[in-house]
Structure 1
Amino acid sequence: MTAPQRLTDRKREAIIQAAIAEFRAHGFDITSMDKIAATAGVSKRTVYNHFPSKEELFAEILNQLWIRVTAEQETPYRADLPLRDQLRQLLAAKLQMLADDNFLDLARVAIAATIHSPERAQSMVARMGEREEGVTVWIRAAQADGRLREVAPDFAAQQIQGLLKSFAFWPQISMGRPGLSAAEQAAVVESALDMFLACYQL
């Protein structure tokens, strides 16, 4: 890697970090590319060279956040292990993501932007569902192995993740509730497992 490339990478990272700070502090609509450039210590042209629009910059921030929070937490289906143990690991990883302060703050920004301008923000919110694919893939594999009932895998994945979000996402996003304690997280996961497996396990 050449020195100019390293400088370019450093500028890109500075832009992302500045944008995170500005979006969290002021929201999507008020934050401008000019302010992001000033906070990052780069020119506005440099910001636009890396990110053609504010929407694309925000989408990239969400993408990087999910990659960081969910890194090495993917749990491939295994035929030799109990379903409950495998699914518990998947749900625990999901709760860890939902408990991340950066994730919650940026989710609030994305949701607020969507409320004020649904058309413009649809792509941002669509990104919020992309990281849920791991649970869908796992359910599909468990069905192929004859251990779960036939149901649309994405529907079942949304069901079980909805059980988590009703305790560990929406109350924090919409009502400012504190995050769940470790004991509360464990109780939510076990209850979701009970309901899901009672319905779908063969």
Structure 2
Amino acid sequence: MTLPARSARKRATILSAGQQLFLANGYQGTSMDQVAATAAVSKQTVYKHFGEKRELLFAIVTDALDTTVGSFGERIAALADSADVEADLASLAGDYLRAVLDESVVQLRRLVIGEANRLPELARLYYQHAPQRTLAALSDAFGRLHQRGLLHAPQPSLAAEHFAFLVVGRPIDQALFDGAPKVLADLDVDTYARAGVDAFLAAYGPR
């Protein structure tokens, strides 16, 4: 028991150090020597857990997205059983917008976009684990709500796309250029998210 737990702690420390360095210096500007020094472990330990720098970056992206999107997916799934769709959509939209505007999420998105030409498989991984996964969960929930007569969404996947872009489309684009703190300083998240929900329900509310 002790060795696996210790190994897990070292892995988490390496992931944290790698993420810090990749976000600060970029993929090309970060070496495994730097990761080892920042994590206070030997270079051999880094290579034992992650065979190469590319593998470490993929693990960082996967872990970060599983943590963020995984817990949020449970919220979306629960929406299918909502008794107050308007209120629950508004709450979900506000939390969704805050999640995508978290500075670490924005920086990770920038990193992936910056490496998309060199590591197209990383870009695909990010898309599958974040936007595509979220849209699929929203589509499932909206399909269920349509069946219950609480939304009119005969094309739930299209409704999911409209909801996502009404809520986060402009802020996330601006955050990529200006940074999340600047966007959040100028944005009333709940009011903006609620406006997106109102527009969504005007199109997809029950008939």
CA distance in 2, matches of 1:151, 1:184: 32
1:184 to 182, 188, 194: 188
**Contact 1:111–1:125 under 8 Å retained in 2:** no
Give the drift of 1:117.
Answer: 2.4
1:138-149 equivalence runs, <5 A: 138-149=141-152
Partner of 2:21: 22
Partner of 2:85: 83
Q: Normalising by structure 1, what TM-score?
A: 0.83
Q: What stretches of structure 2 of length at least 5 have no aligned partner?
A: none
Tell me which moved more, 167-176 or 70-79: 70-79
Percent of residue pairs identical: 25
Deviations 1:66-108 (A, max 9, x none): 4444537614135562211121122122112123121111111
Deviations 1:26-54 (A, max 9, x none): 01222223321222122333223323443
CA distance in 2, matches of 1:172, 1:41: 33
3-state SS of paired residue (1:28): coil
Give the drift of 1:181.
Answer: 4.9
1:1-202 equivalence runs, <5 A: 2-69=1-68, 71=71, 74-75=75-76, 76-77=78-79, 79=81, 81-114=83-116, 116-117=117-118, 119-126=120-127, 127-132=129-134, 133-176=136-179, 178-181=182-185, 184-202=188-206
3-state SS of paired residue (2:22): helix
Aligned residues: 200
RMSD of aligned C-alpha atoms?
Answer: 2.6
Q: What stretches of structure 1 of length at least 5 have no aligned partner?
A: none
